[in-house]
Each structure stands twice: as structure tokens, then as C-alpha cells.
């Protein structure tokens, strides 16, 4: 009888120790648990998140990207897309400054013909730039010119 009680006591002791270990590990886990800091909602691309400041300039769309490469290949040797004069004037804001879109088509296709026609704006800019004739681009389609202008418009001004 006494043997049985002793064994029971030992078994109970072991059980208690096991419970204690489980309890302590559990408590340690609970104490060390840190919930992840809540992830702030990321603002959508192109927006500022706070919505109080002006949105960043929109990325160039496909047409303006085409315009950018046309500009770099054909015009950048003489023109910046900003305000700086290279050989010719910086073309920032050109859509607002030039007499019309039609004028721009004609000028870019053959500026000498525009100057020769007696066009006032054309002669003024030609004289201002020491009568350096601008290269003609008869092969640029109007839609290519539209793309270049879209790219230039995206530069602001």
C-alpha cells in the first residue's frame, strides 16, 4: 500500500514539474510576443498620401514616351526641353508660345518655307537666333510632332 502511495506521489511530482515547465514557457512566449506594428496604408502611386500637397507630375504616357525618344533623336542636338538655349531656344512651353499647332507642323516640316512666306512669328524667332536656319523634318508625321509636343508639354511651362 505504502509503495503505491509513494509511486503516486512521485508521479504527481513529475506531473507538477511538467505543468510548471509548460506554464513558464507559455508565460515567456506571451511576454516576448510583440504584435507587428500596423502597416500604414501605402499611398497609391502618383498621390502624396496626405492629399494636402500637389500630386507628383504624372509619369509620361506611351505617346509622350514616343515623343521623348523622337525629341532626343531629332531635336535635342539644338534644343533643350527646358528653358536653356542650345542652338535654338529651349522648347518648354512651346505649345502656348507658338502661333498654332498648324504653325508648328509647318515650321518643323520646313522652317525656311515659313520664314520665306513672311510669317511674322517665324521671322522674329529666325532673326533672334541670328538667322540660323533650323533643320527641316519633312518625314515627321503630324502625329510624331503631336507626340513631341505632348512630351514637351509634360515638362511644364
Examine residue 147 and tell whether it contacts ligand HEC (CB under 6 A): no
Q: Is the dihedral of CA 31, 32, 33, 37 positive or negative?
A: positive
Residues in CB range of 11: below 8 A, 6 or more apart:
none
Only segment of 11-19, 25-33, 46-54, 133-141 that touches ligand HEC (CB under 6 A) = 133-141
Closest CA to 46 of 35, 37, 36, 57: 57
Examine residue 134 and tell whether it contacts ligand HEC (CB under 6 A): yes
Examine residue 114 and tell whether it contacts ligand HEC (CB under 6 A): no
Examine residue 82 and tell whether it contacts ligand HEC (CB under 6 A): no
The four Cα atoms 137, 70, 151, 120 give a dihedral, to 10 degrees, of -10
Examine residue 126 and tell whether it contacts ligand HEC (CB under 6 A): yes
* Interacting residues toward ligand HEC by CB under 6 A: 74-75, 77-79, 87-89, 91, 94, 97-98, 104, 107-108, 111, 125-126, 129, 132-135, 137, 140, 148
Amino acid at each position: 500500500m505504502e509503495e503505491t502511495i509513494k509511486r503516486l506521489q512521485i508521479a504527481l511530482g513529475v506531473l507538477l514539474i511538467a505543468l510548471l515547465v509548460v506554464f513558464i514557457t507559455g508565460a515567456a512566449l506571451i511576454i516576448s510576443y510583440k504584435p507587428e506594428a500596423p502597416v500604414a496604408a501605402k499611398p497609391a502611386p502618383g498621390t502624396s498620401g496626405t492629399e494636402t500637397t500637389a500630386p507628383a507630375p504624372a509619369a509620361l504616357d506611351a505617346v509622350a514616351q514616343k515623343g521623348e525618344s523622337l525629341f532626343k533623336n531629332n531635336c535635342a542636338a539644338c534644343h533643350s526641353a527646358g528653358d536653356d538655349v542650345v542652338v535654338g531656344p529651349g522648347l518648354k512651353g512651346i505649345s502656348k508660345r507658338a502661333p498654332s499647332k498648324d504653325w508648328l507642323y509647318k515650321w518643323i516640316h520646313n522652317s525656311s518655307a515659313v520664314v520665306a512666306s513672311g510669317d511674322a512669328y517665324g521671322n522674329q524667332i529666325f532673326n533672334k537666333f541670328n538667322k540660323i536656319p533650323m533643320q527641316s523634318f519633312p518625314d515627321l508625321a503630324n502625329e510624331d510632332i503631336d507626340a513631341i509636343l505632348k512630351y514637351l508639354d509634360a515638362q511644364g511651362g
